[in-house]
Structure 1
Amino acid sequence: MYEGFARLYEQLMPKALYRDWVTYMTLYLPEGKSSLDACQVLDLGCGAGNLAKALLATYENLNYTGVDLSQQMIDLARSKQLSAEFSVQSMTDLAKLGQFDTVVSFCDSLCYLVDSPWQSVFQQVYDHLRDGGVFLFDCHSLGTLHEFDGFLYHDSNEQGAVLWSSELANPDTVQHHLEIFLKQADGKYERSVEDHFETTYSISEIVQWLYEVGFYTVYPSSAFDQEPASDESGRLFFAAYKYKNG
């Protein structure tokens, strides 16, 4: 996933989004913490390391671990030479990881789990959070998913271009078709094709699953916590806390 697109994705993603995600993280700190500094953070679907870069620019004592299924994304993340750990790993298998104060999964990463139950990821996240820890993530709303039907987009930069079209594969799944043109050393362009699939669920289902695995407080919102959440919102945000004994 994102193998051919990784180089372009790095250039095309608005950097301001990462600052917005950092700000959102400061709204929901782990219980007993007054800052993200010195917190241990796990990022599921970390991409090219831009969230890590934004976090560490402000919180130099933060301990960051990022995992992503794309080798090229992890290579880009490691090339930034940050004080962080990056590994190629699926968010569906966290068995080898330790305990964290905060676990995040942004940029709709969970939506790519079309064939894996979100409840399984929620349970693993819960198990890898310290007491009082918080799980923060975003995802498409059902309304946004349906709006992708017939979506067309194109963009380019000095490294290449992407043509992006989307359609509903079924009522609950959108298929993104990407044609990628990457500029080579000889000035020619190499074409590759990727198909990505995303799904999502209703707010009530997501909240129910979070409670079922053990989270004791869940805060859904939209627009980086600026608006109430609805199934017609653009991007949904969730903050789920693990109970802190004592």
Structure 2
Amino acid sequence: MAYNEFANIYDELIYEDINYDKVAEKILEICKDNNIKFEDYLDLACGTGNVAVKVCKEFKNTFAVDLSDDMLNVAFEKFKANKVKAKVICQNMCELSLNHKFDLISCVLDSTNYITEDEDLYDYFSSVYDHLKEDGLFIFDINSYYKLSEVLGNNIYTYSSEDIFYTWENAFENDVLNMFLTFFVKNNEGLYERFEEEHIERAYADEYIEQVLNKCKFKLIGKFDGYSNDKVHENSERILYILKK
């Protein structure tokens, strides 16, 4: 799904919780450990480009794909400001068609959870496989079943800063988490504007993810508790997968 107005305040909100340097460093470490060529890189569901802008500095060619034009506009300006070249493309990652092969494809920060249908998940993995060079790497993560069902579950959260206040209400049922967000954002006139977003993530069992990856002929070469070097455990909130074609 597209993020609509959320794109304008995405960085301020997400930077509160995500260490993008750590994510990028882990991705590059995995690439070096597996001796891939630093030539062609694709970041799927790139958002505003916070990961791609760091990783792409090591690659000759970078493609950044997202379903939201608003997100891509922010990403384009970010690439430009950091003096790095990247092609930004608006596409559905379940229907990827780039006529290009890559040494590395990444899809991070639980973007895979936004795929809620079995058929779409297969199409997504299969499409990634087809866009990889031989021995190319696919690195992605998911919010674990434990996180979506237990940590987020049916809880309510609030956030406030000088310019933004929002409430985040969750409803978990039948392996799907619905997230209802209501934002109040201060405009240039000092008044607060209200808008709402709904986000839906599917909770996937680790075993099912591996089953679909196997059907798509991927070789699983690593799995971690988030962007650490620790093994996955029952209370892991984010699972990082490393696949090779």
Normalising by structure 1, we get a TM-score of 0.88
Q: Which residue of 2 aligns with 1:72?
A: 70
Which residue of the other structure, out of 181, 184, 197, is the alignment partner of 1:181?
Answer: 184
Q: Report deviation, 1:182.
A: 2.4
Evaluate the alpha carbon distance shift between residue 97 and residue 24 of structure 1 in structure 2; reply closer, same or farther with a 3 A threshold: farther
Q: Which residue of 2 aligns with 1:94?
A: 96
Further displaced range: 79-88 or 218-227? 218-227
Evaluate the alpha carbon distance shift between residue 83 and residue 99 of structure 1 in structure 2; reply closer, same or farther with a 3 A threshold: same
Q: Report deviation, 1:175.
A: 0.5
Matching of residues 38-53 of structure 1 within 5 Å: 38-53=38-53
Identity of aligned residues (%): 28
Evaluate the alpha carbon distance shift between residue 32 and residue 5 of structure 1 in structure 2; reply closer, same or farther with a 3 A threshold: closer
Q: Is the 8 A contact 2:178 2:201 kept in 1?
A: yes
Q: Which residue of 1 aligns with 2:207?
A: 204
Is 1:151 matched with 2:149? no
Evaluate the alpha carbon distance shift between residue 107 and residue 238 of structure 1 in structure 2; reply closer, same or farther with a 3 A threshold: same
Unaligned runs of 5+ in 1: none
Q: Which residue of 2 aligns with 1:131?
A: 134
Q: Report deviation, 1:231.
A: 4.8
Q: Which amino acid aligns with 2:92?
A: S
Q: Which amino acid aligns with 1:184?
A: N
Q: Which amino acid aligns with 1:182?
A: V
Q: Is the 8 A contact 2:43 2:63 kept in 1?
A: yes
RMSD, aligned CA = 2.1
Q: Report deviation, 1:134.
A: 0.6
Q: Which residue of 1 aligns with 2:111?
A: 109
Evaluate the alpha carbon distance shift between residue 162 and residue 87 of structure 1 in structure 2; reply closer, same or farther with a 3 A threshold: farther
Which residue of the other structure, out of 101, 123, 133, is the alignment partner of 1:120?
Answer: 123
Q: Report deviation, 1:117.
A: 2.8
Q: Which residue of 1 aligns with 2:13?
A: 12
Report the Cα distance in structure 1 between the residues aligned to 2:67 and 2:89, rounded to whole angstroms: 8
Query: For residues 163-191 of structure 1, what are the alpha-carbon distances to aligned partners after superposition, in whole Å with 9 as ceiling and x for unaligned?
Result: 211121x2300000010122223222221
Q: Is the 8 A contact 1:30 1:101 kept in 2?
A: no
Report the Cα distance in structure 2 between the residues aligned to 1:20 and 1:76, rounded to whole angstroms: 21
Q: Report deviation, 1:7.
A: 1.9
Further displaced range: 213-222 or 231-240? 213-222
Which residue of the other structure, out of 227, 231, 234, is the alignment partner of 2:237?
Answer: 234
User: Which of the pair is proportionally richer in helix?
Assistant: 2
Report the Cα distance in structure 2 between the residues aligned to 1:206 and 1:230, rounded to whole angstroms: 16
Q: Report deviation, 1:139.
A: 0.3
Q: Which amino acid aligns with 2:7?
A: A
Q: Is the 8 A contact 2:149 2:203 kept in 1?
A: no
Report the Cα distance in structure 1 between the residues aligned to 2:74 and 2:157, rounded to whole angstroms: 24
Count the aligned residue pairs: 237
Query: For residues 99-143 of structure 1, what are the alpha-carbon distances to aligned partners after superposition, in whole Å with 9 as ceiling and x for unaligned?
Result: 100110001001011135311111000000000101000001111
Q: Which residue of 1 aligns with 2:29?
A: 27
| SS of equivalent residue, structure 1 residue 48 | coil
Report the Cα distance in structure 1 between the residues aligned to 2:227 and 2:115, rounded to whole angstroms: 22
Q: Is the 8 A contact 2:43 2:106 kept in 1?
A: yes
